[in-house]
């Protein structure tokens, strides 16, 4: 590890001294610590920037593989499910920082950039990208972690640091493609916009045909572009969202499996149980027992 890696790992280690997820003084920033490796774990990542300052996460989405480590970050501008492998040990814990991505802030910055240089977002929208930790990003992340140690500094400086982070990301070569997705530009931008509608109506049911038609696309074209963006079909994306929400609900020891199934949009427990086991490798009841016993420590990525 180089001097920068040692410094940010030390800062993150102090902010996340125990295994699991840790809130920070900044609501949009969380830190995660793991001391054992995992393999092929499904995780529905919310929009954000993932920095891994010690250890490594390998995130697979269909045939695409992204690496997050001290040299690479991951940006997701929409919810995406990944299959994750990690490198972690008690002697060398995985230390990861997640900063929420703010679409409204990104759009505001983009408008300012456009006013200054007249640039336009490209039409090839994306919602996930991996990039190199260059000097400006390294410097910013170090300042951000230092700021999290003091309440006054955090309250005064953090909004500017978060805005600076969004600016740096949008200035990168794939920044225009991220903005194209936020602005629903081009065919893939229009498809990306439909993901929000799918998620908003995941509990009540929605017609994929109707969503494709509303986007002005044939069903085959819609499926093709959706899979290119999210690595899955629209139906599997919906299933993933429902099942990950169900897993979150199962952290409560008093909630029944049938209640959880109904809450996330399943009409019966049989189908829910089959699909839950297929995705997580355990029955919903076994998962609930583990989640209740180990609490946040079971959120391994």
Could you give the percent of the chain with pLDDT greater than 90? 79
pLDDT in tens, 2-53: 899 999 999 999 999 999 999 999 999 999 999 999 999 999 999 999 999 9
Kind of pairing, strands 48-54 and 41-45? unpaired
Q: Answer yes or no: is pLDDT of 299 > 80.
A: no
Tens of pLDDT, residues 172-183? 999 999 999 998
Three-state DSSP at 197 gives: helix
Rounded to 10 deg, the angle between the 234-249 and 284-294 helix axes is 50
41-45 and 128-132 strand pairing: unpaired
The number of beta carbons lying within 10 Å of the beta carbon of residue 113 is 18
For 210-262, what is each residue's pLDDT tens digit?
999 999 999 999 999 999 999 999 999 999 999 999 999 999 989 999 999 99
- 250-275 burial, b at 16+ Cβ within 10 Å, e below that, comes to beeeeeebeebbeebbbeebeebbeb
Q: CA-CA distance, 83 to 26, in Å (whole number)?
A: 28
| pLDDT at position 205 | 78
Instruction: Identify the pLDDT of residue 63.
Output: 83
SS3 content of the chain, % helix, strand, coil (to 5): 50, 20, 30
Q: What pTM was estimated for this model as a whole?
A: 0.91
Confidence of residue 296 (pLDDT cuts 50, 70, 90): very low
In the chain, pLDDT over 70 holds for what percent of residues?
94
- What is the Cα–Cα distance from 287 to 277, expressed in whole angstroms? 9
| Angstrom distance (rounded) from CA 239 to CA 161 | 36
Return mean pLDDT, the chain. Answer: 92
- 25: phi then psi, degrees, rounded to nearest 5: -65, -20
Mean pLDDT of 260-279: 94
77 three-state secondary structure: coil
């Amino acid at each position: 590890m180089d001097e920068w890696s040692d410094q940010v790992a030390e800062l993150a280690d102090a902010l996340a001294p125990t295994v699991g997820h840790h809130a920070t003084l900044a609501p949009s920033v969380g830190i995660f610590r793991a001391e054992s490796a995992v393999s092929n774990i499904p995780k529905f990542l919310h929009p954000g920037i993932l920095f891994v300052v010690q250890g490594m996460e390998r995130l697979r989405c269909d045939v695409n593989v992204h690496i997050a480590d001290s040299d690479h970050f991951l940006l997701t501008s929409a919810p995406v499910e990944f299959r994750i492998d990690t490198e972690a040990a008690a002697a060398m814990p995985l230390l990861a920082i997640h900063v929420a991505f703010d679409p409204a802030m990104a759009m505001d910055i983009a408008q300012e950039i456009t006013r200054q240089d007249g640039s336009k977002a490209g039409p090839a929208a994306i919602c996930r990208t991996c990039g190199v930790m260059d000097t400006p990003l390294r410097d910013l992340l170090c300042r951000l972690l230092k700021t999290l140690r003091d309440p006054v500094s955090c309250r005064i400086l953090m909004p500017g640091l978060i805005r600076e982070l969004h600016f740096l990301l949008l200035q990168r070569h794939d920044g225009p493609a991220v903005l194209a997705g936020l602005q629903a530009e081009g065919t893939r931008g229009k498809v990306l916009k439909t993901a929000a509608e799918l998620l908003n109506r995941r509990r009540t049911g929605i017609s994929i045909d109707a969503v494709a038609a509303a986007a002005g696309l044939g069903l085959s074209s819609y499926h093709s572009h959706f899979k290119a963006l999210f690595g899955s079909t629209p139906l599997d994306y919906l299933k993933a969202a429902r099942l990950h929400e169900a897993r979150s609900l199962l952290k409560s020891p008093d909630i029944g499996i049938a209640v959880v199934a109904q809450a996330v949009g399943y009409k019966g427990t049989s189908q829910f149980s089959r699909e839950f086991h297929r995705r997580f490798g355990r029955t919903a009841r076994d998962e609930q027992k583990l989640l209740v016993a180990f609490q946040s420590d079971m959120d391994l990525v």
